[in-house]
């Protein structure tokens, strides 16, 4: 899949979402340039990988002028022997004062053989900015699972509830039923 290139001019806004379901090995390649003052970019992404799925997410956001905002939140689950790679880059040019840029990538491993690699990066050349990035890779919380099980919730349902809660900040509500079904199929 070729790199998708997007340029936002003054005052333009773009909200982009993606959902990758099990069995959909994909590349998400995105290069966004905020070239006009007041441009705003928001990305929410979700992936559910199982079996031998391979997902590569590569996102670059370039802030060229001041007063622009970008927010990226990507969350995912990987089971089986799935392989996921996330590369995120935010570049803030020297003249891009008053920039706000945030990038998050959070992941849960559901099996011993699944693999997730995450590489968030910031390159900031301006002084007056608010920028952050973060990444986590973890497992389902055993204490939370125990608590739900002690309240009579079957293990599969407890695991599914924990996964849905984790994904809720990036959930595409128009695809909720499809995502819930995919989660139950991953158990």
Give the pLDDT confidence of 70-121 residue by residue, as tens digits: 999 999 999 999 999 999 999 999 999 999 999 999 999 999 999 999 999 9
Helix axes 155-167, 142-150, angle to 10 degrees: 130
Phi, psi of 70 (to 5 degrees): -140, 140
pLDDT in tens, 64-84: 999 999 999 999 999 999 999
C-alpha–C-alpha distance, residues 96 and 66, integer Å:
4
Nearest residue to 40 via CA among 85, 74, 3, 6? 6
Can you tell me whether residue 15 is helix, strand or coil?
strand
Token pair listed for 178: 């499809």
| pLDDT value of position 148 | 93
Instruction: Tell me if 106 sits within 8 A of 77, measured CB to CB.
Output: no
Distance CA 36, CA 23 (A): 39
Instruction: Tell me which H or E stretch contains 48.
Output: strand 40-49
């Amino acid at each position: 899949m070729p790199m998708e290139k997007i340029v936002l001019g003054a005052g333009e806004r773009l909200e982009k979402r993606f959902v990758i379901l099990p069995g959909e090995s994909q590349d998400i390649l995105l290069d966004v340039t905020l070239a006009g003052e007041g441009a705003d970019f928001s990305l929410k992404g979700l992936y559910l990988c199982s079996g031998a799925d391979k997902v590569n997410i590569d996102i670059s956001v370039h802030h060229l002028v001041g007063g622009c905002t970008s927010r990226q939140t990507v969350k995912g689950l990987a089971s089986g022997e799935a392989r996921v790679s996330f590369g995120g880059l935010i570049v803030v040019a020297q003249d891009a004062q008053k920039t706000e840029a945030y990038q998050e990538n959070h992941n849960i491993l559901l099996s011993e053989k699944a693999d997730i690699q995450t590489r968030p990066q910031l390159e900031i050349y301006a002084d007056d900015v608010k920028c952050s990035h973060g990444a986590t890779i973890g497992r389902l919380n055993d204490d939370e699972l125990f608590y739900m099980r002690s309240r009579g919730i079957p293990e599969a349902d407890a695991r599914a509830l924990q996964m849905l809660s984790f994904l809720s900040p990036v959930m595409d509500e128009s695809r909720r039923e499809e995502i819930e079904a995919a989660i139950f199929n991953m158990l």
